[in-house]
Amino acid sequence: MNFNTSVLISIVPALLIVRGLRRFLDLPVRMPRFNALLNHIWVPGVVLMGLAYLFEWKSDQLDEFYIFIVLSIVVLVLIRLSFYRPARTLLLAVAPYTLYAAIELLIAVTGRDLLKEYDDVFETSQGFAFIWLFTFLFIARSQKKSLEAERLQREEEEKAKRLIEAQNAELERLVAERTSTLTQQTEELREALTELRTTQAQLIQAEKMASLGELTAGIAHEIQNPLNFVTNFSDVSAELITELDEERQKSERDPELEAELLEDLRQNLTKITFHGQRAASIVRGMLEHSRASSGERQPTDLNVLADEYLRLAYHGLRAKNKAFNATMNTDFDPNLGQIEAVSQDLGRVLLNLFTNAFYAVHKKQEAHPQDGYVPTVSVRTHRTAENTVEVHVRDNGAGIPEGMQQKIFQPFFTTKPTGEGTGLGLSLSYDIVTKGHGGTLTVESEEGTGTEFIITLPA
């Protein structure tokens, strides 16, 4: 074989080695400059062929020398890529064969007798170097696959991470928008709640004023009787004084007549005092009802309280409609005794129940004026075996439909037409009895027959 053919044949595996090295180690990415230089791996072979031709060298070792140069370049590349684990493994793979090639080339240059003498040893070493080379090539290939799998996994994780970050960013944006919307809605709800509370306070005040108006009308009618008595007895007393003065101016005075006039005058003054005190008592009750409750419980006689507010509620409705008349039945337990309660608050409850009862019978009377209907409101008190006291307020009005009975204690719910009720009277009464006094307020009603409210309080 001439020198041109031997070196030329060696260039082909060198190109294959470089091509495999590029693909395996990704040299265009990892070492672009070395990758460009490897494009000229054939240059040393051509140079060797030229030198051999010029100087007429023997061509026996030129191909071995060229392969050694290629292996040295490969080792240099692998050393530069020693940070890459498959490159380190390849370096271990080619190192024994490169060392063997160097020793063989050195011995061939210095003398061939040694190669012939130890031919078996060199062949064994060459076989071992090839086995070592291919073994570590497979190991490096496995390492690259493992690293490639890890890289793909990292890329997937990075991709998932970026996706999660993008989703988080979108979620944060949506949360920020939602938070802004909720904040705005919260402000709107807060403003609506403030307006609602203001309106509720106004309605409660209106209900109190309506209750006070009912009470005032009843008191005005009730107080008219003692005032009439005071006026009448005052007029009679003035006439008696005139008669007494005339009798005293006579020359012949009648002692018996004077004594009789004085006695009549004393009786009139006593009646004036009695009815004046009665009027003062009514005024005191009005003042106690109109002023805010102190919340202090005091011994309270429910019989007296119920009787007083029953008459006040009746006269309050009569003050609006002089033609209205109703029968009032009372059944007060004489053994009821006194209970600890806030009398002003319970008075408001009783006034509200009585007013509603008279309103119900009045409306039924207007609806059936010719059927002999007699409006009747009854109140009954008694002490139970469970050491509680009960107040029953019953009317024979139109009754409450069953579907509404569960709602009548709700705020702003009313069975009255628009403009005739705020829907707060029974709600406030329910709160006063249940929350203020630890009792119960229930209703029993049959449509067309009547309604009964039952107040139960701890004795």
What is the pLDDT, as a whole number, of residue 391?
92
Domain assignment of residue 87, yes or no: yes
Residue 344: CATH number of its domain: 3.30.565.10
Boundary of a domain, candidates 73, 94, 117: 117
Q: Say which residues have a Cβ less than 8 Å from residue 176's Cβ, sequence separation at least 6.
A: none
Q: Say which residues have a Cβ less than 8 Å from residue 346's Cβ, sequence separation at least 6.
A: 300, 302, 305, 432, 437
Range of the domain at 103: 3-117
What pLDDT digit, counting tens, does each position of 31-61 carry? 788 777 777 777 777 676 666 666 555 555 6
Boundary of a domain, candidates 117, 146, 161: 117
- Sign, Cα dihedral of 168, 170, 176, 178: negative
DSSP-derived pairing of the beta strands 327-331 and 376-383: parallel
Boundary of a domain, candidates 67, 96, 117: 117
- Report the percent of the chain where pLDDT is more than 70: 78
What is the pLDDT, as a whole number, of residue 394?
92
What average pLDDT does the segment 287-316 reach?
75
Residue 371: burial class (beta carbons within 10 Å; 0-12, 13-18, 19+):
exposed
Report how many domains make up the chain: 2
Domain assignment of residue 223, yes or no: no
Residues in the chain: 459
Domain assignment of residue 86, yes or no: yes
Claim: this prediction has a pTM higher than 0.95: no
Domain assignment of residue 85, yes or no: yes
What pLDDT digit, counting tens, does each position of 342-374 carry? 888 888 888 888 888 888 888 888 887 767 788
